[in-house]
Every structure is written in structure tokens, then in C-alpha cells.
Amino acid sequence: MDKIIEQFIHHGLRPSPQRVAVLHYLSNHKTHPTAETIYTALSPSYPTLSRTTVYQTLEKLYENGLTQKILIEDGEMRFDADMSNHGHFKCTSCGKVFDFFYTQDFPFPQMEGGFKVQEQHLYYKGRCPECKESSSRQ
């Protein structure tokens, strides 16, 4: 938990108990949760936690480079505390999102006019091994 508090301080953010709990949850649950998932998981331990606090905290974490937003499906914003270069795979059967890591950098497109890339996202959709296996048995 100390590492998480250090991250807040390093980025000039106040480490309130609710904010720390949100980042701790994201760091320890690699499921790429939605804001609602995080709220549901934390609200029993933090009775004063509101959905608004979770949404605002996630936005603040994103703005300060502590999380990334993952938008694979319209209307389903997910969050990831792993800031390394990696892609995401969403299973079209079970809905789970998995990380995958690549060994070489993807080239940025050649664009005239001085564009500066700030984020890159790589997503794939398909069926995870478990769903692929269960459908082949049927």
C-alpha cells in the first residue's frame, strides 16, 4: 500500500483512503474492471464511497498517467493500472479482457504537420482458449 501512496505523492495527488483503495484495487485485479465493478467491490468496505468518487478518481488517475482507459466496446469503459506497452484481447463469448505483450514497438503512422502521439491502443477480439475449448466440445 505504501507504493501506491508514493505514486499519489509523486504525481501531486492527495492520497485519500478512497483514492488509494481505487488504485489498489486496479493494481491487484488484472481483470480490467469498469467503474461500476470497482464501486461494487469497494463499497462494502467504504460505506461513504460514492459512484461519483470512483468516476472522479479514475479520471484523475488517468489524467495523471497512473491508469489507462480501455474502450473496446462502445459504452464499456474499463481501466488498467498496468502502464507498460501492451495490448488487450476481449473474448466475444465470456467478455473477459486479457493482456498480451509484444516484443517490438509498433511504428507510429507517418503524418505530416507535426502530430505527436500520446497514446497507442491495440485491441483484438475473438474467443479465449477456455471458450474456444468449451464450444468445440458441444
pLDDT of residue 107: 66
pLDDT at 15 over 60: yes
Phi first, then psi: what are they for 87, rounded to 5°? -110, 180
Q: What does the domain layout of the chain look like in residue ranges?
A: 1-82, 84-138
Percent of the chain with pLDDT over 90: 67
* Cβ 40 vs Cβ 33: under 8 Å: no
pLDDT of residue 106: 66
pLDDT of residue 80: 95
DSSP three-state, residue 70: strand
pLDDT of residue 29: 94
pLDDT of residue 85: 83
Q: What is the pLDDT of residues 1-12, one digit of tens each?
A: 689 999 999 999
pLDDT tier at 108 (50, 70, 90 boundaries)?
low
pLDDT at 136 over 80: no
Q: What is the pLDDT of residues 33-88, one digit of tens each?
A: 999 999 999 999 999 999 999 999 999 999 999 999 998 887 889 999 998 888 99
**Residue of 55, 43, 111 whose CA lies nearest to 79:** 55
Average pLDDT over residues 102-131: 80
What is the rounded average pLDDT for all residues in the chain?
A: 89
- CATH architecture under which domain 1-82 falls: Orthogonal Bundle (1.10)
Task: CATH number for 84-138: choose from 3.40.1410.10, 3.40.50.720, 3.30.1490.190, 3.40.50.1820.
Answer: 3.30.1490.190
Phi first, then psi: what are they for 89, rounded to 5°? -125, 125
pLDDT at 137 over 70: no
Tell me, rounded to whole angstroms, the distance of Cα 28 from its chain centroid. Answer: 11
